[in-house]
Chain A
Amino acid sequence: MNTDRFHSDRLDSFRELLERSDAALVLTAMAAFYLLFLGIGAVLNYNLAGIISILGQVTFFTAVYALVVLALNLHWGYAGLFNIGIAGFMAVGVYTMAMLTAPPTGSPPGLGLPISVGIVGGMVAAALIGLVTALPALRLRADYLAIVTVAISEIIRLTYNSPAFSTFTLPGGIALGTGGANGIGNFPSNPVRAIYYVDPESAASGTTPIGTAVFGFFENTLGVFRSAVIVDLTYGLVLAVVVLLVYVLLARVGNSPFGRVLKAIREDEIVAKSLGKDTDRFKIKTFMLGCALMGLAGVLWQGFGTGAVYPQAFRPELTFYIFIAVIIGGAGSNTGSVLGGAVFANLLFLLPQYLPNIIEQTFAIQANPNTFIAAVGPIAAGEITPLLGYVLNQRLPALRFVFVGILLVYLMQNRPEGLLGHRTETAAAVDLSDGHTPRAGSQSDPTPPAASDPGGVEDE
């Protein structure tokens, strides 16, 4: 009995901690996801390197989704700017980066500039494309912005896909290229490799002192020989730091008079204008900042994450993944954005990739037959296993869209505000109630206060 109460007290204080501390909330959620995927690794009998690899994936996808969702939350959650061209702005970021940094002698050729220039250039280019998109559309109603952004996003993807720009020469005789449908393969190597390898381009070049120490630790203590897995995990952790920095940046933007004007624009732009706010200026700045962050996310996700860039990665469904994540998390909340990104990345993106194997292993269902006829035929004889096997046979990840659809319908009906959208995050740089206690209601009190002097208004 006492132990029960002890447990329930601890549970209550833990719940309180989660409500009070966003950091605790996010860390708890991440711990849960790590545990889930550790469990999956165990069920699938992965060795330690395999498990570290899964955890690296969890970290990577959580971080990249959180990053883009945070950027979208600035647009949609704060300012109500309905941007459905996210994939396009990510593409501009990563393509610009690739074209700036690819070697001039490569195929397609680039400018051979340093990585840091490439990253900044990618963000600036995405912001400028954002500006070009926003200038005509922001003066119109919100739905026009949506139409323009989705169109621009497709124009961007098809332009990168076009053979016409596969390689081209700028007026000064400088050769550049998008690689057309094949994309750009000679992408600069992931910068975290420089921590471990003497030459980041080649693992055979030998390890740095840090590399020797870390790889040695994993090899001798844990028996993990695959250094690529350690590099990936490190990159995931670096991305987590980037997410933290972007979170702090956006929290500052939100908790300021600037963020207050954005909220006012979302609520009623005419009111914001009637109070003297130049709403166009606020919207353009916000749109450019969000696009720059989407460009950064493109570089860190599609660029360094996959080591190559190709146009098919930026199909419109990417944009909708991000929107679903922001809806899950709750529009308007930065912490909600991180949580929404984490939930989407882990439960809707990664989990379906492992699910077929888990089901196969657990329920001893064979992932066959291959054809629909062979799957439904035996149902007449009361055999349902072939249908399950058919669904499992590499088709479960494709059912992700069905899961996502069901989840969206559920959310819209039962919790349209998402996980954290119900919270009121006050847009101010200080605690607005500090030093003040709202006194008990007086407005509804019908007795006339003695202080009022009806004679006072006559003296004109």
Chain B
Amino acid sequence: MGLTNQATGFRTLRENFLPASTGGYLVALAGNPNAGKSTVFNALTGLKQHTGNWPGKTVLQARGKFTHQGHTFTLVDLPGTYSLLANSVEEQVARDFICFGRPDVTVVVVDATCLERNLNLVLQVTETTNAVVVCLNLMDEARRKRIAIDVPLLARELGVPVVPTAARRGEGLAHLKDTIAAVATGALCPGPAPIIYDADIEAAAGQLTRQLQPLLRGRLNARWVALRLLEGDATLLQGIQQFLGVDLSEPGIKLQVKEVLV
């Protein structure tokens, strides 16, 4: 069977960033390349940061720390990507970390002057995990271009907290830290609304989800995995094998996927 000792692979990725003994929280920082992610990162961590590589990959990784309300937060800066659908090494690294690294909170930095394009990534992240905070950055640019955003409406539509910021000027950062802390400690429980697809996709996904749930045992969003299997995302299967020890290319499962597809 494919269910080997998955605990080691699974925890090792997270333990890369958090020594087991700290009571700290792990926060992932995602966003489009030009959304001002590094400015937010620098603003939150100040000088307490460290740059290196993602293990085994030539993609830059920065991590830093900040404390707020008595808690320590380790912030990991994910590569800037337009989507999580793993078309490049950066997207794969970002996706793998959000899925398998199990951050306590994922903050998605969004460019307020280009909301539509940036929302694509937000929606993909909320499909993967519930603990999401949207940092609506570059609000100063939006003001300058006279773009107004109805933040409460946006938060309602997305089902996650939305914090407007202008990181270049230090605006909104306190509120951002408050929100991150609230979601990390469980004081705030975001409930993102799932995206509904075409009827046949939903049917196929539903079937696969039911089969996947016992195998994944709650460590990964089964519906999300089902959708990725339907699209033929090969790297995800490798990731699940590597980090969860679950081999979804097993003949039994493959057969079921094929049945669903055909």
- A-B complex is real: no
